Amino acid sequence: MFVGAIFFPLLGACLSGFLGRWLGDRLAQWSTVACMALAAVCGSLAFGQVAMGSHPATFPLLTWMDVGGLEFSWALRYDTLSVVMVAMVTFISTLIHLYSVGYMSHDATPARFFAYLSLFTFMMLMLVTADNLAQLFFGWEGVGLASYLLIGYWYDRESANRAAMKAFIVNRVGDVFFMLGVALTFFVFGSIEFDTIFANVAEHANDRFAGLPAIELIGVLLFLGACGKSAQIGLHTWLPDAMEGPTPVSALIHAATMVTAGVFLMARMSPIMEYAPVALQIVTVVGATTAIFAATIGCVQNDIKRVIAYSTCSQLGYMFFAAGVGAYQVAIFHLFTHAFFKALLFLGAGSVIHAMSDEQDIRRMGGIWTKIPVTYAVMWIGSLALAGIPFFAGYYSKDAILEAAFAAHSAVGIYAFVCGILAAFLTAFYSWRLLILTFHGKPRADHHTMEHVHESPAVMLIPLLLLAVGAVLTGAIFAPFFIGEHEHEFWNGAIFNGAHNHIMHAMHEVPEWVPLAPTVVGVVGIVLAYVMYMFAPGIPARLAATFRGAYRFLLNKWYFDELYDMIFVQPLRRLAFQFWKVGDARIIDGMPNGAAGIAAGVARGAVRLQTGRVANYAFTMIIGLVIFVSLFLIGR
Amino acid sequence: MNAAGFPLLTLLTFLPLAGAAIIMSVRGTDEVVASNARWTALWTSLIVFLLSLILWVKFDRASSGFQFEEKLAWLPEFGVGYHMGVDGISVLFVLLSTALTPLCILASWESIQVRVREYMVAFLILETMMVGMFAALDFIVFYVFFEAVLIPMFLIIGVWGGPRRVYAAFKFFLYTLLGSVLMLLAILYLWYNAGTTDIPALFEYAVPRSAQTWIFFAFLCSFAVKVPMWPVHTWLPDAHVEAPTAGSVILAGVLLKMGAYGFLRFTLPLLPEASADFAPLIFVLSIVAIVYTSMVALAQEDMKKLIAYSSVAHMGIVTLGIFTFNQQGLSGALFTMLAHGVVSGALFLCVGVLYDRLHSREILRYGGTARVMPAYALVFMLFTMASIGLPGTANFVGEFLVIVGAWRINPWVAFGAATGMVLGACYMLWLYRRVSFGAITRDDVRALLDLSPREYAVFAPLIILTLWMGIYPQPFLSFFEATVAALVARHEAALSISRLAGM
């Protein structure tokens, strides 16, 4: 069961990837779906046993490396933290597989697509069940590879290839820091296995490395790694471009796999992070900044998937600052609920795109809500959950995050709280902007497209409905376990809160207005969206014209891409060319070639004596040998 | 006698020569000769490979000493003997050489059509030289093999190479030969003072501190060219570009390891103080190699040149790992050498597959090959990812260990090594994207055929090795565990003695 949850997806990937040609498309698809379903069953059973029944376990598989004290194995570690992720990932991924059967039905190579999807899921599962940092890194890089393949799935499009490469390389930048963090961990603890590290943190709490506190440095390095994978500000640029992949891929990247890895890492390393207060402050500030930064961009984007992508970026910011103030449980809870409603939103968007004959620009949609009522309804549910409207899933987790930030009573905590409230307002605003522009108003698509607008087939609607149920209920059902009164038994030590860290209690004792604030700003945001896009549609255009600079700044995503292109990409290219043409060709080769030119004149005479060139050199070699040997013999 | 019960290493070394002799004696029409030459060469190299598996089975992994030793007095009055043997450092390189040779012969099956007999003879002689070099335990014997390797390689590039083959062959030959002359001087000095050229005996001889520096630089000149280290690397891209596919495979897979092997076998044990003194120099050169050549690789328009430059960057990781003098770094360097032998060899074969079909190495000539060659795309992707060092493939294990080892010396050195991770991803993905992805624009690309059964046979062992070494590297790591531990211990002991003497 425990092993099955992880390896069924791999089996599915192999079946579909290697035998796809013999099985045929239909059989290949359904066999991967079946494998995923089996994995989900195993995952749920494991969740029952480990999390609800409090039976953590570790399954060693194979020694990986054992070099001079650096020793670690392939193993599956099942504690509450990992089993929550396993259950969530397998469940969501199964629904996405099912949905893809419908969504990719017109594709030329669906077997390849399903192989990638299952591989992606497998890598994520390896990541969350890792027993040591190296195996975590295996999954970490593995999801990078799978996302690269999936984003570039339509590889004859230039833009898809560019986006795929960008995703991989930006992730790699983060990975460098992760790798260095692992090296430092080994340097400090003499091991990279979690059990050994966690048992010895207190002992090494005051270690210093190169004049800096070692634990803090580990925390910062690992966080920088997490920034790459979880698209935090600075290393976020790959995430919006990742929209080039088919929509189910976006759902998988944003909901279940990949981007949540960074948050998971913070929670997994909580025993170390708890001894690294400065690192945690950095996490909080970066998370809060990302939350507000991505939300501002989300307000002006016109691609339906991009808007949702920026909302993911923003929600990840929430999770990070929750971890930053020490409320890892809350961060994981938001990750868990977010998975449901974000998958729902993306798959819903996919359904819209499917209906609109692959149109993604919301300026060319509108007036379709009567034609695709189920999609419309689930998009509403997803948006309500995202905006944190009471009793939907997002309400429980997002409110808890803001309460925790407030309860931290620190400068960075308040900064995070303010950013979080503002972002909550913007989130509600852009969610309803999206809903209204997509579904209401006069149809802005051409006549031909409008004729073909149709509801998606059942194989796509069933996952949507299941996810909608999740988006409504998961918050209310699981809140007591993740963050409520059963919190302690549920986590069972999988997440560590230091002795000084009382945030899990303090967050329940905040002033009355704090839990109300997010709901209020959420509703205000919704109302504003209605005013601006439904009742007085002239306002947005006038605003954009009045604040032209600000509008362009947001529309161009704070000019991050242009900046990076200017600072890194262009100079690198130019330098690479200079190194090659000047460094290698002129300077390094110039010297021997120049010397050869002088020597050539001298040698020309000598060469004539020889019949063949090889013999010439062999002869020189032997003569040289003789001379040297003789010299030494004489010398003796 | 030794663990095998018969002179195994001598047999491994000289059996290919017997095969070469048989090929030489074949008479008949060109076609008969060519076919006979191919089959004889393949069978000879396969038998050698099977014999070499005895090493894998019988090698005592717990021992740090030399095994399978053979000794004959050759020139006893000069202290020069014929001495063969392997330890944990060299045994896997013998295996790598014997494993790559049959694959190379198979890869040249159809692409070599002129002077097939001579080509196969050259390859078998090359195998003799490679195996002999890794198994030699006498400095003179080593030197003879070390230099003699150049001759068949020179011929392979110069006769069966591309249009600029003569320039490339000479550049290759001159560069590598010039470096070696200084090493010969150093060998003579050692022999003059120690009275022997037997390597285990030399280990007992403490080289005076003053001489160490000079010998170190003499060795450095020779080994750095072979590695190749920056800035003496420019012969490599030219040699690779002009060499036939199989020649590139051996060049990248085995010949590049000779320099690093030299560092491990001679520089470190013989010159501990000088090695420690000049380690920072090596670190700087290695990091420059990693960053500089990775960037140059980014600008390349020729597939083989790009992979050649990536080899230089990977060898930077190796030299960096060697001079960390700790177990992780050294094991990582050794493992990277093996992994690079397999992976870059495979990448050159991947280029060869396309070159055989369209006779062009220009990257822009292709594009969209994934559509018509899905199996090839998968294989190429696997080796691309392996070259990037994705965990689960062979290169990762080595790079990871080197970075961990380097961190113990200096975090900035580790950071320098780690930048290679990003740059490596840039140039390899950029290559893959332009070759395999994109829309097909040319008709001859659209008509390409996917891998043939022969090509599957060539790639299959390399794929298995890459994944095996990545997922379960312990059987490989266990070979050098004891030897590396002994080497580190020796090194530290030597340093502490000199420190005491200095006080």
Residue A522's pLDDT is 87
**Domain count across chain B:** 1
CA nearest to A158 within chain B: B438
CA nearest to A112 within chain B: B374
Please check whether residue B435 lies inside any domain of the structure: yes
* Per-residue tokens: B261: 């092997």
B92 near B476, Cβ under 8 Å? yes
Residue B326's pLDDT is 87
pLDDT at A611 over 50: no
Of the CA atoms within 13 Å of residue B472, those in its CB half-sphere come to: 6
**Domain count across chain A:** 1
pLDDT tens for each residue of A463-516: 899 989 988 888 888 888 888 777 777 887 778 887 777 777 777 888 888 888
pLDDT at A68 over 80: no
Contact partners, residue B20, CB within 8 Å, separation at least 6: B44, B120, B121, B124, B125
> Which residue would you say has higher pLDDT here, A615 or B107?
B107
- Helix axis angle, A373-387 to A328-355, nearest 10°: 160
* Per-residue tokens: B237: 């891209």
CA distance A577 to chain B (A): 6
CA distance A179 to chain B (A): 8
CA distance B1 to chain A (A): 31
Q: Which of B294, B287, B292, B286 is nearest to B260 (CA)?
A: B286
> Which residue would you say has higher pLDDT here, A614 or B193?
B193
* Per-residue tokens: B222: 């020779």
Q: Which of A460, A228, A501 is nearest to A348 (CA)?
A: A460
Question: Which residues from chain B sit within 8 angstroms of residue A583, using beta carbons?
Answer: 292, 296
CA distance B363 to chain A (A): 16
Question: Which residues from chain A sit within 8 angstroms of residue B292, using beta carbons?
Answer: 579, 583
Q: What are the average pLDDT values for consecutive 10-residue runs of chain B, which has 503 residues?
A: 71 85 81 83 88 85 82 77 85 90 86 81 88 88 86 82 77 77 83 81 81 85 83 82 86 88 87 84 86 84 88 90 88 91 91 85 82 87 90 88 87 85 86 84 80 87 90 86 86 79 58
Please check whether residue A623 lies inside any domain of the structure: no
Helix, strand, coil % in chain A, rounded to nearest 5: 75, 5, 20
Q: Which of B236, B298, B303 is nearest to A575 (CA)?
A: B298
Does B392 contact A at CB distance below 8 Å?
yes
- The answer to whether the CB atoms of A187 and B408 lie below 8 A apart is yes
DSSP annotation string for A463-528:
HHHHHHHHHHHHHHHHHHHHTSTTHHHHHTTSS---TT--HHHHTTSS-THHHHHHHHHHHHHHHH
Section A375-382 average pLDDT: 90
pLDDT at A60 over 60: yes
Interface of A with B in 129-148 (CB under 8 A): 134, 137-138, 140-142, 145, 148
Q: Which of B153, B157, B184, B295 to mutate to test the interface with A (most CBs of A within 10 A)?
A: B295
Q: Which of B464, B322, B460 is nearest to B398 (CA)?
A: B322
Cα distance between residue A341 and residue A331, in whole Å: 16
- The answer to whether the CB atoms of B299 and A186 lie below 8 A apart is no
Percent of chain A with pLDDT over 90: 1
Residue count (chain A): 636
Interface of A with B in 25-64 (CB under 8 A): 62-64
Q: Which of B168, B156, B125, B146 is nearest to B255 (CA)?
A: B146
- Tell me the whole-structure pTM to 2 decimals: 0.88
CB atoms within 10 A of CB A486: 14
CA nearest to B169 within chain A: A614
Section A552-580 average pLDDT: 75
DSSP annotation string for A186-232:
HHHHS--BHHHHHHHTTTTTT-EETTEEHHHHHHHHHHHHHHHHTT-
Average pLDDT of chain A to the nearest whole number: 82
Interface of A with B in 67-106 (CB under 8 A): 67-70, 74
Q: Residue B472: helix, strand or coil by DSSP?
A: coil
Does A580 contact B at CB distance below 8 Å?
yes
Question: Which residues from chain A sit within 8 angstroms of residue B151, using beta carbons?
Answer: 614, 618
Does A152 contact B at CB distance below 8 Å?
yes
Residue B339's pLDDT is 92
Q: What is the DSSP letter of A253?
A: I
Handedness of CA B458, B464, B467, B468 (dihedral sign): negative
CA distance A31 to chain B (A): 21
Letter string b/e over residues B329-358, b meaning 16 or more CB atoms within 10 A of that residue's CB: bbbbbbbbbbbbbbbbbbbbbbbbbbbebb
Give residue A438's domain range. Answer: 341-491+511-555
> Which residue would you say has higher pLDDT here, A564 or A148?
A148
Please check whether residue B174 lies inside any domain of the structure: no
* Per-residue tokens: B42: 């393949």
Going by DSSP bridges, is the β-strand pair A212-213/A208-209 parallel, antiparallel, or unpaired? antiparallel
Residue A47's pLDDT is 85
- The answer to whether the CB atoms of A572 and B295 lie below 8 A apart is yes
Question: Which residues from chain A sit within 8 angstroms of residue B407, using beta carbons?
Answer: 180, 183-184, 186-187
Question: Which residues from chain A sit within 8 angstroms of residue B338, using beta carbons?
Answer: none
Q: Which one of B438, B473, B484 has the shortest CB-CB distance to A161?
A: B438
Question: Which residues from chain B sit within 8 angstroms of residue A572, using beta carbons?
Answer: 295, 298
Section A400-411 average pLDDT: 87
Interface of B with A in 435-464 (CB under 8 A): 436-440
Instruction: Compute CA distances A47 → A108, A339, A546, B130, B326, whole Å.
Output: 37, 17, 54, 56, 43
A189 near B407, Cβ under 8 Å? no
Cα distance between residue B271 and residue B183, in whole Å: 14
* Per-residue tokens: B105: 């012969």
Q: Residue B84: helix, strand or coil by DSSP?
A: strand
Please check whether residue A545 lies inside any domain of the structure: yes
Q: Residue A536: helix, strand or coil by DSSP?
A: coil
Please check whether residue A550 lies inside any domain of the structure: yes
Contact partners, residue B90, CB within 8 Å, separation at least 6: B134, B135, B261, B265
Residue B4's pLDDT is 63
A218 near A271, Cβ under 8 Å? no
Interface of A with B in 594-623 (CB under 8 A): 613-614, 617-618, 621
CA distance B239 to chain A (A): 14
Please check whether residue B191 lies inside any domain of the structure: no
CA distance A261 to chain B (A): 16
Does A208 contact B at CB distance below 8 Å?
no
B386 near B425, Cβ under 8 Å? no
Does B188 contact A at CB distance below 8 Å?
yes
B99 near B461, Cβ under 8 Å? yes
Cα distance between residue B403 and residue B397, in whole Å: 10
Q: What beta strand segments (E) does A68-177 contain?
A: 70-78
Q: Which of A261, A263, A355, A351 is nearest to A305 (CA)?
A: A351
Q: Which of A7, A61, A64, A67 to mutate to test the interface with B (most CBs of B within 10 A)?
A: A67
Q: Count of A–B CB contacts within 8 Å?
A: 165
- The answer to whether the CB atoms of A66 and B477 lie below 8 A apart is yes
In the beta sheet, which residues pair with residue A65?
A: A72
Give residue B438's domain range. Answer: 278-503
Please check whether residue A471 lies inside any domain of the structure: yes
Contact partners, residue A219, CB within 8 Å, separation at least 6: A269, A272, A273, A276, A278, A279, A280
Please check whether residue B314 lies inside any domain of the structure: yes
Residue count (chain B): 503
